[in-house]
Amino acid sequence: MPISEERLKRYFWDTDFSALDTEKDKRFIIERILELGDETAVEWMKKEFKKQELFEVLRRARSISKKSRRFWDLVLKS
- Does the pLDDT value for residue 1 go beyond 70? no
Question: Alpha-carbon dihedral of residues 24, 28, 34, 36, nearest 10 degrees?
Answer: -130
pTM of the predicted structure, to 2 decimals: 0.87
Q: What is the DSSP letter of 46?
A: H
Q: In a 3-state reduction of DSSP, which class is residue 19?
A: helix
Backbone φ, ψ for residue 40 (5° rounding): -65, -45
The answer to whether 47 and 1 have CB atoms below 8 angstroms apart is yes
- pLDDT tens digits, 20-78: 899 999 999 999 999 999 998 999 999 999 999 999 999 999 999 999 999 999 998 87
